[in-house]
Chains A and B, each alone.
Chain A
Amino acid sequence: MSTEHKNAGQNMTRAKILIVDDDPDLRKALKLRLRANHYDTVHACDGYSAIAMAQKEHPHLIILDLGLPAGDGYVVLERLQDSDALSSIPVIVLTARDPQTNEERSFQSGATAFFQKPVDNNELLEVIQASLQATSARANRLPS
């Protein structure tokens, strides 16, 4: 089990990840896992605060649950897409819902990647890293 992945912006400012999930225990576990891998995290527990947090914090990446109170994951994805300032943030959907009915819809709504819970941590960390690199290559706006 490899525990640590290189953070894309390790030598510079740490990349900031917004974790959106209504389960506080899972939010905490993800926070611990991501911080151990040199990412900063901010958190939101519902759709409404996810948008507010994204606007306030401008995270480099968002991990988004689909089943959320106050505006589900799809609403969040659409609101992010509608905003010029936020539409380029990569969003990784992490949900317990069935991929057969949700994966394609997530991508159509603007998600970068889709994982069903429970997720393999190494896979998740790899995709986070690759997504951050891709955005930094595209827009050159990542920690610099």
Chain B
Amino acid sequence: MSDPTTHVLLIEDNPGDADLVRLRLVQGKTPVEVDCVNRLADGLTALTAKTPSVVLLDLNLPDSHGSETFRKVLEKAPGVPVVILSGQEDEALAIKAMHQGVQDYLVKGDITSKHLERAMRYAVERQALLRSLEMSRKQQLEFKNQFLSHVSHELRTPLTCIHQYVTLMADGLAGPVSPEQHDHLRTVLKSVNQLHAMIRDLLEAARAEAGKIRVERRCIALVDLIEHAVAMLQPLAQEKRVGLEMGMDTRVPLVLADPDRILEVLVNLIDNAIKFTPPDGSVMVKACLAEADTEFAYVSVTDTGRGISPEAIPLIFERLYQDPNTSDGNRSGLGLGLYIAKELVNLHGGRIWVASQPGSGATFSFTLPLYSLAKLLTPVIVHNGQLRDNFILVRVTLTPFSRPPRGNWRDTCRRCLELLERCVYIDKDLVLPAMGTAGPAETFFVVASTDLERSNIMMNRIRGQLEACPGLKDGGTLQVNAEAVVLPSSQKARSGAEQVREVADRVTEMIMANLGCKQNFTANGD
């Protein structure tokens, strides 16, 4: 350390105690500079202005008492060492504070300059040690991720070669293949695919741990995703002679979720269910509104396999967990699938769990937040308890110039959405989440609290911003138009919530008409 001076922030309201501590500090061998304040609020301000080497803190101040005092200081300056100056009567509290991140405490009557100097020095050292520990933990995590990324790359190269030559043979491009040989090649290919999935899971789990998974929420029909997942896995189920069925609630829930990620979760759960179900058993996928919580949709995958032991249930979503009783020749994989599924569901704000009776199957369930237009709209269309006067529905359509789109079209759409969000007033306009799975043409809708005339300004702003977006400039077209949301005249007499629902319903109808409607967006019964 280049500056030998110890900067002390003394937070102490008793002038006598403050003077005494100051005296002891000055008497010590290390050069010190002391700032003294007598209220917590002033202490917190001082911490923002300048980071001291150490804080000496009295717990009972005019504006704060007891544990609240040190909690606020630690919250404000988590990296600064804190030493508590306690009275005889609150020594117990000071000890408790040490468990919560305070470095040391001194009892006021017993403070000598030697004591004080030593306590401060240790506090500073310990804090530095903690910091370097935290840093090395982060470095290790980073190293692990780099290592996994490297390993994954190195494994993919030979795997690609195996995959290519096996498919060449299986497709008959290297000469005729007998049915038996073809069978063997298919077995090889199946193992190649398993290996591929493991490499993918390894990276994905590392990413989940590092908090690097990105979720793009869209308004999606859960039924479409489930149908997609079931269709993907139907061949596997048939091969194993396991029945795979769906049971959907008639009020099919629309959810706010990333379709790719949720498909991943569904495929994982259904694939597992098929894997652990014996021939002639069945797997049932269900979706409905959650009974306990009306803001969530509920999805479950039930199998008729041998179930999960009670000991395994709390561990099953842990990383690298593998069922020790797997003995029926199933290759269980890395034990990362359910961990990734849990992380993905949690990222959506949902919950995942399992229920099972050993011997009679298992049910994996998860929840996802419902898409509710009324809920999204309320904060922007209601002002001071009153519905705003006019609403406009602005439609922004992005179409790629060529098919397939040149460059990363999804990235272009993502960037356009970000730009779009900058073109509106966040307190009175709302860019709605995109609808359905991402397709080649992307349509965004904005509900704006303005009238048709003034909406021209907004539309021009949108055009100006989006036209300059690089991905769109050289590979797509942009269409922006607006339509007034006309409400039935009866609205005045209704309650606030009903008015919002009416706007939401009207907007929904208009969106459906705009999209040539495939889906019923009122299905959630807002």
- A30 contact set on B, CB distance < 8 A: 164
**Would you call B164 and A29 a contact (CB within 8 A)?**
yes
Q: How far is the CA of A114 from the CA of B405 in the complex (A)?
A: 12
Q: How far is the CA of A116 from the CA of B153 in the complex (A)?
A: 10
Rounded to whole Å, the gap between the CB of A91 and the closest CB of chain B is 11
Interface set, chain B 118-175, CB cutoff 8 A to A: 149, 152-154, 156-157, 159-161, 163-165, 167-168, 170-174
Q: Which of A9-17, A68-76, A97-105 is the interface stretch?
A: A97-105
**Would you call A36 and B173 a contact (CB within 8 A)?**
yes
- A55 contact set on B, CB distance < 8 A: none
Interface set, chain A 90-110, CB cutoff 8 A to B: 90, 96-98, 100, 103-104, 107
Chain B residue at minimal CB-CB distance from A135: B402
Rounded to whole Å, the gap between the CB of A68 and the closest CB of chain B is 13
**Would you call A118 and B163 a contact (CB within 8 A)?**
yes
**Would you call A134 and B168 a contact (CB within 8 A)?**
no
**Would you call A112 and B406 a contact (CB within 8 A)?**
yes
**Chain A contact residue count (CB 8 A cutoff):** 34
- Specify which of B153, B168, B212 is in contact with A33 (CB 8 Å cutoff): B168
* A33 touching B402 in the complex, CB below 8 Å, given contacts A96-B156, A116-B156, A117-B157: no
- A3 contact set on B, CB distance < 8 A: 171-173
Interface set, chain A 112-136, CB cutoff 8 A to B: 112-114, 116-119, 121, 127, 130-131, 134
* A32 touching B173 in the complex, CB below 8 Å, given contacts A23-B161, A25-B161, A117-B156: yes
- B402 contact set on A, CB distance < 8 A: 134, 137-138
Rounded to whole Å, the gap between the CB of B267 and the closest CB of chain A is 16
**Would you call A33 and B404 a contact (CB within 8 A)?**
no
**Would you call A104 and B173 a contact (CB within 8 A)?**
no
- Specify which of A36, A96, A103, A116 is in contact with B408 (CB 8 Å cutoff): A103
Contact with A along B392-408 (1 / 0, CB 8 A): 00000000001110111
Cβ of A62 < 8 Å from any Cβ of B?
Answer: no
Cβ of A26 < 8 Å from any Cβ of B?
Answer: yes
Cβ of B75 < 8 Å from any Cβ of A?
Answer: no
- B170 contact set on A, CB distance < 8 A: 1
- A8 contact set on B, CB distance < 8 A: none
**Would you call A117 and B160 a contact (CB within 8 A)?**
yes
Q: How far is the CA of A3 from the CA of B403 in the complex (A)?
A: 23
**Would you call A29 and B171 a contact (CB within 8 A)?**
no
- B275 contact set on A, CB distance < 8 A: none
Cβ of B196 < 8 Å from any Cβ of A?
Answer: yes
**Would you call A98 and B203 a contact (CB within 8 A)?**
yes
Cβ of B411 < 8 Å from any Cβ of A?
Answer: yes
Chain A residue at minimal CB-CB distance from B200: A116
**Would you call B164 and A98 a contact (CB within 8 A)?**
no
Q: How far is the CA of A117 from the CA of B152 in the complex (A)?
A: 11
Q: How far is the CA of A130 from the CA of B408 in the complex (A)?
A: 15
Q: How far is the CA of A107 from the CA of B407 in the complex (A)?
A: 5
**Would you call B403 and A130 a contact (CB within 8 A)?**
yes
- B161 contact set on A, CB distance < 8 A: 23, 25-26, 29
- Specify which of B153, B165, B407 is in contact with A111 (CB 8 Å cutoff): B407
Which residues of A pack against B, CB within 8 Å? Answer: 1, 3, 23, 25-26, 29-30, 32-33, 36, 67, 90, 96-98, 100, 103-104, 107, 111-114, 116-119, 121, 127, 130-131, 134, 137-138
Q: List 24 A-B contacts (CB under 8 A).
A: A3-B173, A23-B157, A25-B165, A26-B164, A29-B164, A29-B168, A33-B167, A36-B173, A90-B406, A96-B160, A98-B149, A98-B203, A107-B411, A111-B407, A113-B404, A116-B156, A117-B156, A117-B157, A118-B156, A118-B159, A121-B167, A131-B404, A134-B402, A134-B403
